[in-house]
Amino acid sequence: MAKHANPPADDVVFQDEGSFYDPDDQDDDGPVAARGSGGHDADDAGDSEGSSDSSDQEGTGGGDSQPGKHRRRRRRRRSRKGGEGTAAGGSETASTPAPAPAPAPSRPEPRQHQGRGGQNPRHRRGNDRRGGGGSGGNGGGDAGEGNDRDASKSLGVVEGILELHPKGYGFLRDPKNNYASGKNDPFVPASLIEKNKLREGLLLRGEIVHGHKGQGPRFRTIEAIDGRTPEEYTRVRPFDELTAVNPFERIRLETGTTPITMRVMDLLTPLGKGQRALIVAPPRTGKTMLLQEIANSVSTNHPEMHLIVLLIDERPEEVTEMRRRVRGEVIASSMDRDVESHVRISQLIIERGKRLAEAGKHVFILLDSITRTARAFNKWVGNTGRTMSGGLDVKALDIPKKMFGTARRFDEGGSLTVVATALIDTGSRMDEVIFQEFKGTGNMELVLNRQLADRRVWPAIDIGMSGTRREELILTPEELDGIIMLRRSLVSLNPIEAMEQLVKTLARFPTNREFLTKIRAIL
């Protein structure tokens, strides 16, 4: 018997996003009618004509598909009866034995869930994409079950820093990738976050599986949270519930006879664990070199501290130099990145430091610079209608102030030290306003002097303008007495003469202890 002319039900060709083409929907002059007149028997031709009529009625999109279904069946019955009557009535084929009635050509079954207006193919297309081409209203079939089986297959164990979304779910960011967001970052569902009371900045380790089609991997189980089991993590008190106290444990920066800058800082602006320090720096006063020396001194003298250097909106070459010279974690969102990157990275790193500090660890964050971070937040918040001097929005500094204010020492153990730089004398009114807003919020200030830098006197520290609050809690009584005598002897000199004399004197003593002992003996 001749091959039936109608295509299978699944033979649907999509033309574009808003329309589709079904080979069944043809006019009488279309491909179906043409094939029916090209040598097929009467049964096939009659069936093709019936198919064309029914397709025309179905394609109008006006009525239900069930009446058309019954009409097609009646036409097939009449076509078969007409063929049998012709054979029995002495047609040209009557001399031959009448063949057994051919089975009715298999008509395509009506598509499931077909609605009005022929909209079902669009529905099938969406299901095929989700279920892998299976038939039926669930859009999956056997292929969909195969995807479900693949979704439960483990892809291994990964680690990452949790970044939360305002809607409650989160993603794991790779520290080795500079905490940048990527499409393959594991997705952490909101149910898992709520169940374990996870906070942003935690280091999670667990198993991942395949995500939904078109999505990245999915975080399924948690094995460890910052090196603890989920049960042990529940006993860690949140950052805001811990008791903040003044720094009382010294961070010693002196590593030897040199660099002199670190020895001067130990004498004039001592640092403690939990210090909130602000380095006030005009352009070209040695700020970058100062930060590198501080970072190297911390990593050398205090390996127990977790050192993080956070560079926001800095030059790319400075980022490269910092990574090569500093023995610590350097995270950067350089000036070629967008504002959203500056805002996201800065907040995530501060949250990471809070999670480590609340767990009892000592964290040291070098932020360069708080001024450029505030600029990024000023662009990020947009225009709220209230603007301060210099074009700074009134809400632009809310989050940067909170970030700088997270530095503290906990009575229960642990600390978060933040040393941030503030830019002045840049010719920008906005930078001056930002500095004035942060001035006085820290408990240590180190002011760099442009006149000293112009005369190549290093470190270019203004002795009279620099100092540490409650330094008696950090220094020993002997050190405190010697530093007080030193300041009294230098206060009568101008900043340039005072620093030149101090640097020359320190060069004659191998350590600060010997220098202070000599000062106490003389004065």
Burial class (CB in 10 A: 0-12, 13-18, 19+), 180: middle
Taking 90 as the threshold, does the pLDDT of residue 424 lie above it? Answer: yes
pLDDT band at 40 (very low <50, low <70, confident <90, very high): very low
- Residue-wise pLDDT tens digits, 270-289: 999 999 999 999 999 999 99
pLDDT for the residue 382: 83
Q: How many CA atoms lie within 13 A of 214 on its CB side?
A: 4
* Average of per-residue pLDDT across 424-452: 94
160 neighbors 186 (Cβ within 8 angstroms): yes
pTM: 0.71
Taking 50 as the threshold, does the pLDDT of residue 499 lie above it? Answer: yes
pLDDT band at 389 (very low <50, low <70, confident <90, very high): confident
Residues 6+ apart with CB under 8 A from 101: 80, 84
pLDDT for the residue 16: 41
Q: Is 353 helix (H, G, I), strand (E, B) or coil?
A: helix
pLDDT for the residue 313: 94
Question: Could you identify the residue written with the tokens 């933040």?
Answer: 418
Question: Could you identify the residue written with the tokens 């056997």?
Answer: 142
257-276 per-residue burial string, b: 16 or more CB within 10 A, e: under 16: eebbbbbbbbbbbbbbbbbb
Residues 6+ apart with CB under 8 A from 230: 196, 222
pLDDT for the residue 83: 52
Where is pLDDT greater, at 147 or 81?
81
pLDDT for the residue 67: 55
- Residue-wise pLDDT tens digits, 206-217: 999 988 877 789
- Residue-wise pLDDT tens digits, 137-186: 334 334 444 444 465 678 889 999 999 999 999 999 999 999 998 888 99
| Helix, strand, coil tally for the chain in percent (to 5) | 45, 15, 40
Taking 60 as the threshold, does the pLDDT of residue 50 lie above it? Answer: no
Where is pLDDT greater, at 42 or 500?
500
Beta-strand pair 444-447/467-468: antiparallel
pLDDT for the residue 145: 42
pLDDT for the residue 318: 93
Tokens, residue 503 = 């640097």
DSSP 110: P
Tokens, residue 174 = 């790779």
Residue 195's Cα: distance from chain center in Å?
A: 22
Alpha helices in 162-308 (DSSP H): 190-196, 230-233, 260-268, 287-301
Residues 6+ apart with CB under 8 A from 271: 247, 250, 251, 253, 265, 277, 417, 419, 444, 468, 474
pLDDT for the residue 92: 41
Going by C-alpha positions, the residue among 500, 502, 506, 504 that lies closest to residue 456 is: 500
pLDDT for the residue 81: 59
Domains for the chain: give ranges and CATH numbers: 1-86 (no CATH), 152-236 (2.40.50.140), 244-522 (3.40.50.300)
- Residue-wise pLDDT tens digits, 235-257: 999 999 999 999 999 999 999 99
Taking 80 as the threshold, does the pLDDT of residue 109 lie above it? Answer: no
Span of 18-22, 73-77, 476-480 with lowest mean pLDDT: 18-22
Taking 80 as the threshold, does the pLDDT of residue 75 lie above it? Answer: no
* Average of per-residue pLDDT across 71-91: 58
Q: What is the mean pLDDT of the chain?
A: 79
Four-residue CA torsion sign, 102, 103, 104, 107? negative
Taking 50 as the threshold, does the pLDDT of residue 394 lie above it? Answer: yes
Task: Report d(CA 232, CA 280) in Å as an integer.
Answer: 42
pLDDT for the residue 387: 85
pLDDT for the residue 442: 93
- Three-class SS of 229-246: CHHHHCCCCCHHHCCEEC
Where is pLDDT greater, at 252 or 33?
252
- Residue-wise pLDDT tens digits, 306-319: 999 999 999 999 99
Question: Helices 398-405 and 370-381: crossing angle, nearest 10°?
Answer: 140
Going by C-alpha positions, the residue among 194, 195, 203 that lies closest to residue 223 is: 203
pLDDT band at 70 (very low <50, low <70, confident <90, very high): low
Tokens, residue 138 = 């669930």
Where is pLDDT greater, at 189 or 124?
189
Burial class (CB in 10 A: 0-12, 13-18, 19+), 351: buried
pLDDT band at 128 (very low <50, low <70, confident <90, very high): very low
What one-letter code names the amino acid at 119?
Q
* Average of per-residue pLDDT across 375-404: 90
Q: Is 219 helix (H, G, I), strand (E, B) or coil?
A: strand
- Residue-wise pLDDT tens digits, 285-304: 999 999 999 999 999 999 99
Tokens, residue 167 = 């809607």
Task: Report d(CA 350, CA 355) in Å as an integer.
Answer: 9
